[in-house]
Structure 1
Amino acid sequence: MSKFFGYILTPIFYISFGLSLLIFHPIQWVSYKLFGYKAHKLSVDALNFFLTYSQFFLANSVSFKNNFDLPTDRPIIFASNHQSLYDIPSLIWFLRKHHAKFISKIELTKGIPSISINLRLGGGANIDRKDNKQAISEIIKLGRRMKENNWSTVIFPEGTRAKDGKIKTFQFGGVATLLKAVPNALVVPIAIENSWKIVRYGLFPLTTGNALKWTVLTPIEPEGKTANDITLEAETAIRKVLGQ
């Protein structure tokens, strides 16, 4: 039944999602060029609000749970599992007060309305996966920006999307590199549930009636722990929520 309604509702969702990207592309450009980072960030926040709640056109519910008073005067590394591209708009929107940045493939900085311009101007790290030296350099630069501005970064230690929802083993390299540049960062796991179901049949049809959930888990103080220990602790906490 979810697939059946997907044939009907997917075009409506894509229209909403696509229009949001097209409308906010020039808004982002003007905001940044005339008013700088703060105005650009507000435009990005607004864009990701509309992208997140476009899920309603698929009859998908959106839930974000955070029982912790996370600091805004300290850098944070959010470590999350990754199930689909639809994870990202919601993370940007719900973590907006923490100025969440991402480590992205450099190929994405061109050709995608709104997304590419945000990657170029938003302050994240755009890495060439074929150039390890460049990638590490960009992540270290991101860490320095985190330290200077009390920004946060969202990383996906799995390295790729888990298309069946089953968590892949977390790699500690991203956490280790960031902590070298910003050793006082708090590490906060986030468990994402059910977004993989949206694309279980590919780009069309998308599925409907999914309960999409983002849950902030117990923060991890890095002091006295190795990056491997921290990453394993985050993975274990997320697996527990997902029953894996």
Structure 2
Amino acid sequence: MSKFFGYILTPVFYFFFGLMLCIFHPIQWVCFKFFGYKAHKISVDALNFFLTSCQIFLVNSINFKNDFDLPTDRPIIFASNHQSMYDIPSLIWFLRKHHAKFISKIELTKGIPSISINLRLGGGANINRKDNKQAISEIIKLGRRMKDNNWSTVIFPEGTRAKDGQLKTFQFGGVATLLKVVPNALVVPVAIENSWKIVQYGMFPLTTGHALKWTVLKPIEPAGKAPEEITLEIETEIRKVLKQPINYPSIV
């Protein structure tokens, strides 16, 4: 039934989702060009509020849970599982007071209304996956901006989306690189549930009637811990929320 209604409601969703991208593209440019970063960020936050709200056209509910008083005067590394492209607008909106930035493929900086201009102007890291030196350099620059401005960054340690909702083993490289530059950053896991179901049949039809959840988990103080240990802790806590088997490291 979810798929059936998806055939009817997906065009409606895409129309309004695309409309928001087109409307906010020139708004972002004007805000940045004439009023600077703060105005641009407000426009991006507003855009992602509307993109998140578009889920109502698919009859999907949005639930964001955060029981922790996270600091705004300290950089934060949010580490999350990744299930679909629809994870990102909600993360930007709900984490807006933390100035959440992303590490994105450089290919996305061209050709996509609103998204490409935000990636170019918003202060994140745009990396060439075929050029490891460039990628590390961009992440280091992002880390410096985090340090200077008390920004946060959202990383997806799985590397690619889990299309069936099953977690892949988390890689520690992103955490390690950022902590080298921003050793005082707080590490905060975020568990995402059910967004993979929206795209389980691909781009069309999207499916309907899902309870989409974003849950902020207990922050991790990185002092005295190796990046591998921190990343395993992130993965373990997210697996608990998703009720998936925990990958314990092998002992040699």
TM-score interval (norm. to shorter): over 0.9
Aligned twin of 2:214: 214
Aligned twin of 2:247: none
For structure 1, the 5+ residue unaligned runs are none
1:217 Cα deviation after fit: 0.1
Q: For 2:103 and 2:153, how far apart are their aligned partners in 1?
A: 8
1:158 Cα deviation after fit: 0.1
Q: For 1:210 and 1:200, how far apart are their aligned partners in 2?
A: 12
Letter paired with 2:113: P
Q: For 1:190 and 1:135, how far apart are their aligned partners in 2?
A: 24
Letter paired with 2:49: F
Q: Please show how residues 18-33 of structure 1 align to structure 2 within 5 Å.
A: 18-33=18-33
Aligned twin of 2:61: 61
Moved over 3 A (4+): none
Q: For 1:198 and 1:161, how far apart are their aligned partners in 2?
A: 13
TM-score for the superposition, normalised by structure 2: 0.97
1:172 Cα deviation after fit: 0.1
Aligned twin of 1:204: 204
3-state SS of 1:240 partner: helix
Aligned twin of 1:180: 180
1:168 Cα deviation after fit: 0.2
Aligned twin of 2:97: 97
3-state SS of 1:92 partner: helix
Q: Please show how residues 1-244 of structure 1 align to structure 2 within 5 Å.
A: 1-244=1-244
Q: For 1:203 and 1:46, how far apart are their aligned partners in 2?
A: 25
For structure 2, the 5+ residue unaligned runs are 245-252
Letter paired with 2:207: T
3-state SS of 1:220 partner: coil
Deviations 1:155-185 (CA, angstroms, capped at 9, x unpaired): 0000000000000000000000000010000
Q: For 1:64 and 1:197, how far apart are their aligned partners in 2?
A: 17
Deviations 1:121-159 (CA, angstroms, capped at 9, x unpaired): 000000000000000000000000000000000000000
3-state SS of 1:204 partner: coil
Q: For 1:74 and 1:16, how far apart are their aligned partners in 2?
A: 36
1:191 Cα deviation after fit: 0.1
TM-score for the superposition, normalised by structure 1: 1.00
Equivalences, count: 244
Q: For 2:57 and 2:197, how far apart are their aligned partners in 1?
A: 15
- Among the aligned pairs, what percent are the same residue? 86
Q: For 1:126 and 1:206, how far apart are their aligned partners in 2?
A: 28
1:68 Cα deviation after fit: 0.1
Deviations 1:191-223 (CA, angstroms, capped at 9, x unpaired): 000000000011111000000000000000000
Q: For 1:199 and 1:128, how far apart are their aligned partners in 2?
A: 26
Q: For 2:118 and 2:142, how far apart are their aligned partners in 1?
A: 15
Deviations 1:51-98 (CA, angstroms, capped at 9, x unpaired): 001000000000000000000000000000000000000000000000
Letter paired with 2:97: K
1:112 Cα deviation after fit: 0.3
The RMSD of aligned alpha carbons is 0.3
1:41 Cα deviation after fit: 0.1
Q: For 2:65 and 2:121, how far apart are their aligned partners in 1?
A: 29
Letter paired with 2:203: L
